[in-house]
Amino acid sequence: MFAGHFGLAAGVRAKAPEVPLWALMAATQLLDVAFIPFLAAGVETMEEETGSGYGDWIIHADYTHSLLGAIVLAVLAGMLAKKLWGAKSGRVIGLVVFSHWLLDLVVHRADMPLLPGNLGDLPLLGLGAWKVEGIAIGLESILIAAGLIMYTRAVLKTAGSGRRMTAYLSSAVMGVLLALTLLSDVLGWF
């Protein structure tokens, strides 16, 4: 669901223009960025379930994608953003980081623990939208479309009369990048 996360970040940018777009894009992927060294170290793993492609992986991200792990990462990112750009930006970044966990909850199979390392062997969470590819792609498409519309409106609203073409170009580039990210998700290119 990389594309859906990025779509959400584009939409948030429209409502929080004081937060740099790059920071929102990084924040929305922070759980996955943190997952990479854990994966490389063999602490967290991935296993293919039915082939290659959209949602065909069971992800054992028992630290980075646990509820508590996501909260900790969100708080830390929010604190850093607060130092860099102020209190409102800190809250926005923290919420965007945590939004990753919420969106993953919808698409992941039941592979997301509540506590890091699945401490206490509690039930794993995930609503499994990836099991129905059309639903998952539809949800991501909605996030992309809504985010792009919000982003485009905000960019056009703030552009002066001489900068409308730049605003349209910025929105077009954002749209192409979001569409390519969705294509990457669907084809399993991550």
Q: What is the pLDDT of residue 26?
A: 95
- Residue-range domain boundaries for the chain: 2-187
Strand segments, DSSP code E, in 16-169 are: 45-48, 57-60
Render 109-132 in DSSP notation, one character per residue: -S-B-SSGGGGGGPPPB---GGGS
Q: Which residue has the tokens 């850093």?
A: 80
Which residues 6+ apart lie within 8 Å of 160 measured at CB?
Answer: none
Q: For the whole model, what pTM was predicted?
A: 0.87
Tens of pLDDT, residue by residue, the chain (190 residues): 678 898 999 999 999 999 999 999 999 999 999 999 999 999 999 887 765 455 667 788 999 999 999 999 999 999 999 999 999 999 999 999 999 999 999 988 888 999 999 999 999 999 988 888 888 889 988 998 999 999 888 888 887 777 778 888 888 888 888 888 878 777 766 5
